[in-house]
């Protein structure tokens, strides 16, 4: 995490800023950085591999050509792009002796990270709506969730994520600021605005919180109706089978919003820079790492399809 008191700007004229100093891992014990580098690299590669396997499986298995798995493919794509936008740069800076980033690169990283992050939240909201329609209105599901409707919903999530990413980036970069391995919006604002809370800071917080809490509220509302519909199912086996279709999505929502709440809502202590950096990197790397595991293990249909796909590809070699 950027330390506003320790970060410095390359150049005295704030209107001519061209380079930022990255201080995220500067205070970490240097002998631990290779271990963190290896851990995050393995998690990064697994995230890419896991999401690519999910996408390839959904593409190749005709039984998975349904709205739920279309949304899952879009979610995997957003996670891959979010991870690629942040993690490689972070890994390079962990082992680099010269940690800096240009103004343009910092702005680009912020735009893409927020675009893909908001897209991820919007897709989770759409997936919650998909489960709501499937469970509460099963007879109308094929009408309400037609292919072109689903494609339009996915397009709207990407468009909405791009708009949110552009808004936050433009708001932040209207003020002089300093970045770290991820040009983190609140660290930038603290550097730009000093100790006092500014209207710019409040504006960014309002934009982010409104969008994310709006998504969370709609997800919770969907599950209120879902739970009510499940409770009306007479048999315990029917209730369990119906709810099992929601478990993977609900788990990812809890992980996503749970980690985000810990990172952004916890009190900021005067000496919390190292812990904030570690928690932020854990959130950035660990949350996308968990998502393909959750969907692969908690979704029986997808798990069986992955297993069948691997057997079909590797059984001829074994024989």
Q: Worst-scoring range by mean pLDDT, 25-29, 277-281, 299-303, 306-310?
A: 25-29
Triad 60, 66, 71: Cα angle to 5°:
95
pLDDT at 272: 54
pLDDT for residue 223: 95
Read off the pLDDT band of 140 (50, 70, 90): very high
Residues in the chain, how many?
319
| Whether pLDDT at 81 is above 90 | yes
Lowest mean pLDDT among 72-86, 149-163, 203-217, 219-233: 203-217
Q: Where are the alpha helices (DSSP H) in the chain?
A: 33-60, 67-94, 103-136, 141-144, 147-172, 185-193, 199-231, 236-244, 247-265, 273-298, 300-318
- Average pLDDT of the chain, as a whole number: 79
pLDDT of residue 93: 78
Q: Which residues pair with 102 in a beta bridge?
A: 19
Torsion angle of C-alpha atoms 113, 107, 170, 157, degrees rounded to 10: -20
Residue 302 tokens read as 């997808």
Mind listing the domains of the chain with CATH numbers? 29-268+277-299 (1.20.1070.10)
Per-residue pLDDT for 276 more than 80?
no
DSSP bridge partners of 20: 9, 101
CA atoms within 13 A on the CB side of 60: 15
Q: Radius of gyration (Cα) for the chain, nearest Å? A: 22
| Range of 120-124, 243-247, 273-277 with top mean pLDDT | 120-124
Q: Distance (Å, rounded) from C-alpha 99 to C-alpha 26?
A: 9
Q: Say whether pLDDT at 98 is over 50.
A: yes
Please tell me the predicted confidence (pLDDT) of residue 187: 52
Question: Does position 2 have pLDDT exceeding 80, yes or no?
Answer: no
Are 189 and 204 in contact by the 8 Å Cβ rule? The answer is: yes
Q: Worst-scoring range by mean pLDDT, 85-99, 141-155, 250-264, 289-303?
A: 85-99
Which of 27-31, 104-108, 124-128, 150-154 comes out lowest in average pLDDT?
27-31
What's the burial of 85, exposed, middle or buried (CB within 10 Å: 0-12/13-18/19+)? Answer: buried
| Interval 212-221 mean pLDDT | 93
Q: Both tokens of residue 236? A: 């315990």
Cα–Cα distances in Å, from 133 out to 126, 129, 226? 11, 6, 9
What's the first-to-final CA gap in the chain, in angstroms?
A: 53
Reply yes or no on whether the pLDDT at 215 is more than 90: yes
C-beta of residue 64 within 8 angstroms of C-beta of residue 301: yes
* Alpha carbon 15 to its chain's center: 32
Q: Over 90: is that where the pLDDT of 170 sits? A: no
* Whole-number Å distance between alpha carbons of 72 and 64: 10
Give the contacts of 47 (CB within 8 A, at least 6 positions apart): 79, 80, 83, 285, 288, 289, 291, 292
> Do 54 and 299 form a contact (C-beta atoms < 8 A)?
no
pLDDT of residue 273: 54
């Amino acid at each position: 995490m950027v330390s506003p008191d320790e970060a410095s700007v390359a150049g005295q004229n704030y209107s001519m800023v061209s380079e930022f100093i990255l201080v995220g891992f500067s205070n970490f014990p240097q002998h631990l950085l290779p271990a963190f580098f290896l851990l995050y690299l393995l998690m990064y590669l697994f995230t890419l591999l896991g999401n690519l396997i999910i996408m390839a499986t959904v593409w190749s298995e005709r039984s998975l050509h349904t709205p739920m798995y279309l949304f899952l493919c879009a979610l995997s794509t957003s996670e891959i792009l979010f991870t690629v936008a942040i993690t490689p740069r972070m890994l390079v800076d962990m082992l680099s002796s010269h940690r800096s980033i240009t103004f343009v690169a910092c702005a680009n990283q912020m735009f893409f990270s927020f675009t893909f992050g908001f897209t991820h939240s919007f897709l989770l909201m759409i997936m919650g709506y998909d489960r709501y329609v499937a469970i509460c209105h099963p007879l109308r599901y094929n009408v309400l969730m037609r292919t072109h409707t689903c494609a339009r919903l996915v397009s709207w999530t990407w468009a909405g994520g791009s708009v949110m990413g552009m808004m936050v980036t433009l708001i932040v970069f209207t003020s002089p600021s300093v970045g770290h391995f991820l040009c983190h919006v609140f660290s930038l604002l603290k550097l730009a605005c000093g100790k006092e809370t500014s209207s710019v800071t409040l504006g960014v917080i309002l934009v982010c919180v409104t969008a994310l809490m709006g998504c969370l509220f709609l997800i919770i509302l969907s599950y209120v109706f879902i739970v009510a519909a499940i409770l009306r199912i007479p048999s315990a086996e029917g209730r369990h089978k119906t709810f099992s279709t929601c478990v993977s999505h609900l788990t990812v929502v809890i992980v996503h919003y749970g980690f985000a709440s810990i990172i952004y809502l916890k009190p900021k202590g005067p000496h919390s820079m190292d812990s904030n950096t570690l928690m932020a990197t854990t959130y950035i790397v660990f949350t996308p790492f968990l998502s393909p595991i959750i969907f692969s293990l908690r979704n029986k249909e997808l798990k069986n399809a992955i297993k069948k796909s691997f057997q079909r590809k590797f059984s001829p070699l074994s024989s």
